[in-house]
Amino acid sequence: MGDILKGVKEVIVDVLKVDEKEITLETKFIEDLKADSMDQFFLIDGFCEKFDLSISDEDARNIKTVKDTINYIESQQK
């Protein structure tokens, strides 16, 4: 999980311009980091590029926290 968490944080910092210290597993993109719909699109795009995967719109709607993101990436890498 460590490498995935590091990569997820890198994407979040790059897209949302937030301090990495603000990001925990429980961090919610909308409520905690004030991401809007465009930000969410760029986050999902960033995760796809960083981890070489494809995330469907339906799956993307269910990714609301850092932990959701890591769980999804881990499930796709098996």
Residues acting as catalytic residues: 36
CA–centroid distance for 42 within its chain: 10
Residue 30 gets which letter from DSSP? Answer: T
Residue type, 73: I
